[in-house]
Amino acid sequence: MSWLRYLLVFCCSLLPALAPAQDKSAMRPLSIGLMPYLSTRTLLASYQPIARALEHELKQPVHLNTAPDFDTFVKRVIDGEYDVALLAPHYARLVTRDYGFTPLLLHKAPIRGVLVTSRNKPLYSTEELRGQTIAVAERSALLVIVGALTLSNEGIKEGSDYQFVENISHSSALHSAISGKSRAALISYSTLTLAAPELQKDAVIWRELNRIPGQFYIAHNRLPVERQKAIKAALLSFEKTPEGQHFFDKTKHGGFRDPNREDFEFLDRLQPETRRQLGPLLH
């Protein structure tokens, strides 16, 4: 009996040592990747309210992450570096089909692709883009893919009539157009609303080229289904709070909604071009 008692005491003595390790594992930070469509500083500051809300609801630390450029970010998503990612809709459709992610929600407001110029040198016709450059953040961005199709339908073609010039972010593309380095910039409308006041003051929207589904929130399938549901519920709860309302007023993202069949059908039609543009990033 004394031997059994000794063994019981020994096993019980191990429990306090094991508990911290188990707690630490359960409290592993949730990694959220943010597509770098804004400068890193602006992007992380803009999405801090969502991080705080998720930490409160999930009782788990949340780390916001991004990347120096679109290609690096998409590669990190494909490699599974993020638990949750905020991603352009055509990229999101690709990785949910082929790389082990599940769509959770998307922004209710569509992404509006707008052509912006310097207020000192506005555009008056599509013909003025001949022989010119248009600044973009990323050639494989959906608003650029659809924008090129729109301009082609109006008689000017990429390569022969104008060139897209890639920049680090939408913000830098906007600066390129305002400074006169490029004739115009094709950016999202929400980028313009979040830009520095001096950039907004010197910019003018010539026209809207297209509207496409909003950015997607996707979760890696290594997260249990119940955890994915909890993250989705936390995001929807955030939308109803004063902080959430302020976030959506500021970003013009309009709230959350579920993806639907029409979204997927539209994005599926653009998958061949998406894959062509991403090229060697895919594996």
Q: Are residues 183 and 56 in the same domain?
A: no
The answer to whether position 238 is within a domain reads: yes
CATH of the domain at 207: 3.40.190.10
Q: Are residues 128 and 72 in the same domain?
A: no
**Residue-level pLDDT at 194:** 83
Greatest mean pLDDT range, 40-44, 115-119, 141-145? 115-119
**Residue-level pLDDT at 197:** 87
Among candidate residues 196, 212, 228, the one where a domain is terminated: 212
Write the pLDDT tens digit of every residue in 144-199: 999 999 999 999 999 999 999 999 888 899 999 999 999 999 999 988 888 888 88
The answer to whether position 5 is within a domain reads: no
Q: Are residues 94 and 142 in the same domain?
A: no
The answer to whether position 4 is within a domain reads: no
Q: Which domain holds residue 95?
A: 29-109+213-281
Q: Are residues 228 and 203 in the same domain?
A: no
Q: Are residues 143 and 195 in the same domain?
A: yes
The total number of structural domains that make up the chain: 2
Sequence-distant (6+) residues with CB within 8 A of 2 are none
- Residue pointed to by tokens 């922004």: 107
Closest CA to 168 of 73, 283, 282, 278: 73
CB 190 within 8 Å of CB 215? no
CA angle 162, 75, 28 (to 5 degrees): 140
- Rounded to an integer, what distance in angstroms lies between the CA atom of residue 272 and that of residue 264? 14
Q: Which amino acid is at 86?
A: L
Among candidate residues 212, 230, 253, the one where a domain is terminated: 212
Among candidate residues 212, 233, 263, the one where a domain is terminated: 212
The answer to whether position 148 is within a domain reads: yes
Per-residue CA distances from 91 to 145, 174, 181, 252, 263 (Å): 12, 23, 29, 21, 13
Q: Are residues 89 and 122 in the same domain?
A: no
Is the pTM higher than 0.75?
A: yes
Q: Are residues 98 and 225 in the same domain?
A: yes
- Rounded to an integer, what distance in angstroms lies between the CA atom of residue 205 and that of residue 196? 16
- Rounded to an integer, what distance in angstroms lies between the CA atom of residue 192 and that of residue 108? 18
Q: Are residues 115 and 196 in the same domain?
A: yes
The answer to whether position 226 is within a domain reads: yes
Write the pLDDT tens digit of every residue in 227-281: 999 999 999 999 999 999 999 999 999 999 999 999 999 999 999 999 998 988 8
